[in-house]
Amino acid sequence: MTVQSFYVQNMLRKYKKQITTAQYIARANGSARNLHVFNQNDDAQLSDKERRIANARRQGLVERVAREVYENLLFSGSDNPIVEEIKAQLEIDLGFAVLFRNPFPNLSLQIYKETDLGPIKVTSDEKEEIMNRLWAISLDKVNATML
């Protein structure tokens, strides 16, 4: 008996989504216990030390949320509005569209440029530049949208 490749690919795609979702839930459960949200209306009543602590907590929260958005964009191809905005900003900054491919959880992420001739795999230097730019854009978007 032979199994058609479509069914195998579909099964692996679903398995990958399940793994990504399980990792997301595990991280969310761990970080939700330590969450403390800084209310900006209380800023006037805080001392300098308390303000620095609150800002550090806020920055930590921004980085955790940005990491989730960043990973969703890279590994699960989410169609979240924030993810779409980040993709659009990255395309504007780079001057070309990019495709992110993660063939399977054990293999490394692959990034392709979209050209008229079709997708072309980027070099390792370009990949590093794209990843750094993507992280910076993710941080900026999340920071701008957080209260």
In tens, the pLDDT along 99-129 reads: 887 766 666 778 888 888 888 888 888 888 9
Region 18-26: mean pLDDT is 74
What's the pTM? Answer: 0.61
In a domain, 2, yes or no: no
Place of tokens 């495709």: 99
Gyration radius of the chain's alpha carbons:
19
In a domain, 14, yes or no: no
Q: Angle CA(84)–CA(32)–CA(20) in degrees, nearest 5?
A: 50
Domain count, the chain: 1
What is the C-alpha separation between 91 and 112, in angstroms, rounded? 12
**pLDDT for the residue 60:** 85
In a domain, 136, yes or no: yes
The values of phi and psi at residue 5, to 5°, are: -60, -30
In a domain, 130, yes or no: yes
Say yes or no to pLDDT of 92 above 70.
yes
**pLDDT for the residue 3:** 55
In a domain, 78, yes or no: yes
Give the range of the structural domain holding residue 101, as residue numbers without chain letter: 49-146
In a domain, 37, yes or no: no
**pLDDT for the residue 147:** 59
Half-sphere exposure of 76 (CA within 13 A, CB side): 20
In a domain, 42, yes or no: no
pLDDT, tens digit, 9 for 90 and up, residues 48-91 = 888 788 888 888 888 888 888 877 777 766 677 777 888 888 88
In a domain, 91, yes or no: yes
Residues in the chain: 147
